[in-house]
């Protein structure tokens, strides 16, 4: 009976962790999408500034940077 409880607890923990990973990925894509859309809208006629803005978006929306903020 104890082994079943332990197995159920481990399974529940794995399910919770996997759901957090999916949420983080979707937030990252949303961040990158919103940021690059802003870059295109702001610098539509200037490729150099748009590319610079998109590089900043990659940094700002990376999981490492996001983890440091929260």
Q: 1-21 pLDDT, tens per residue?
A: 788 878 888 777 667 666 555
Domain spans of the chain, in order of start? 22-70
Residue 47 has a pLDDT of 93
Q: 32-45 pLDDT, tens per residue?
A: 889 999 998 888 89
**Is residue 49 within 8 Å of 38, Cβ to Cβ?**
no
Spell out the residues 6+ positions from residue 40 whose beta carbon is closer than 8 angstroms to its own.
50
Q: Which residue has the tokens 């690059």?
A: 36
Q: 43-68 pLDDT, tens per residue?
A: 889 999 999 999 999 998 887 655 55
Neighbours of 57 (CB within 10 A): 19
């Amino acid at each position: 009976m104890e082994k079943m409880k332990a197995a159920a607890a481990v399974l529940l923990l794995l399910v919770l962790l996997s759901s957090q990973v999916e949420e983080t990925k979707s937030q990252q894509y949303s961040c990158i999408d919103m940021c690059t859309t802003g870059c295109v809208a702001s610098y539509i006629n200037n490729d150099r500034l748009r590319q610079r803005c998109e590089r900043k978006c990659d940094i700002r929306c990376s999981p490492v940077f996001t983890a440091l903020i929260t």
